Chains A and B, each alone.
Chain A
Amino acid sequence: ETGVTQSPTHLIKTRGQQVTLRCSSQSGHNTVSWYQQALGQGPQFIFQYYREEENGRGNFPPRFSGLQFPNYSSELNVNALELDDSALYLCASSLGLGTQYFGPGTRLTVL
């Protein structure tokens, strides 16, 4: 059984660019949740996908968007990057709406 994997590990972008982050959920899991963790802070809920449908969204602007694919992997897209988007982006998978298991995260730096 493989755990949650995320790619890339690190990413550097400039302000105004667009970025796509990827997450492969743990085997058998059909729900993915994305969180943003700024340095020294707790994670903030971005959105959740359950069986390919968005199932809730936190207080993030529309330039944060996502997708879940039929194999339950997921993408997080951020358009028009801002300096404050620099953070660790965490993906968590679960079986249904249950206990979440996290990947190692993608460290995004916006210059």
Chain B
Amino acid sequence: QQQVKQSPQSLIVQKGGISIINCAYENTAFDYFPWYQQFPGKGPALLIAIRPDVSEKKEGRFTISFNKSAKQFSLHIMDSQPGDSATYFCAASNSSNYQLIWGAGTKLIIKP
């Protein structure tokens, strides 16, 4: 019940296209859902996060969509750029402790 399932494992998108990464969770006690971006040899960097009281949150080219009834959330990267090429992780936690449970990651490659 603690798992977070992430798909796809890898994704290739043309420059300017939309990248979409999906995650599903099981624990209904989770109420904090961040997305992190990680470049090789670096620690994860927080991109954007959402709480279940909203269905969508947008920051620049990054949008999280959240479906509470389906226990799913997704990251959309609009106008994808080669600099967006990285591994993306979704995570989930209860806001009483923020002890993050992570997805397995999606390696995103943006082709010029």
Where the two chains meet, the residues of A that have a C-beta atom closer than 8 Å to any C-beta of B are 4, 33, 35, 40-45, 48, 55-56, 58, 90, 92, 94, 97-105
- A96's closest neighbor in chain B, by CB? B98
Q: Which residues of B contact A90 (CB under 8 A)?
A: 43-44
> Are B104 and A41 touching (Cβ within 8 A)?
yes
Expressed in whole angstroms, the minimum distance between the Cβ of B43 and any Cβ of chain A is 4
Closest B residue, CB atoms, query A41: B104
Q: How far is the CA of A90 from the CA of B104 in the complex (A)?
A: 16
The number of A-B residue pairs with CB atoms under 8 Å apart is: 59
How many chain B residues touch A (Cβ–Cβ < 8 Å)?
Answer: 24
Sort A-B residue pairs by CB-CB distance and give the 5 closest, nearest first: A42-B102, A102-B43, A104-B43, A102-B44, A97-B98
Chain B interface mostly helix, strand, loop or mixed? loop
* B99 CB within 8 Å of chain A: yes
Chain B residues 85 to 105 lying within 8 A of chain A, measured CB to CB, are 89, 91, 95-105
CB neighbours of B98 from chain A (8 A):
33, 48, 94, 97-100
Residue of A nearest to B89 (CB): A42
**Would you list which residues of chain B between 59 and 112 have a CB under 8 Å from chain A?**
89, 91, 95-105
In the assembled complex, 14 residue pairs joining A and B whose CB atoms fall closer than 8 Å, in A order, are: A35-B102, A42-B4, A42-B102, A45-B99, A48-B98, A48-B99, A55-B97, A90-B44, A92-B43, A99-B46, A100-B46, A102-B36, A103-B43, A104-B41
A residues in contact with B45, CB < 8 Å? 102
Complex partner residue of A105 from B43, B89, B91, CB under 8 angstroms: B43
CB proximity of A77 to chain B, nearest CB, Å = 20
Chain B residues closer than 8 Å to A43, beta-carbon distance: 44, 89, 100, 102
Min CB–CB distance A37 → chain B (angstroms): 9
B49 at the interface (CB under 8 A from A): yes
Q: What is the minimal beta-carbon distance from A102 to any residue of chain B, in angstroms? A: 4
CA of A58 to CA of B100 in the docked complex: distance in angstroms? 10
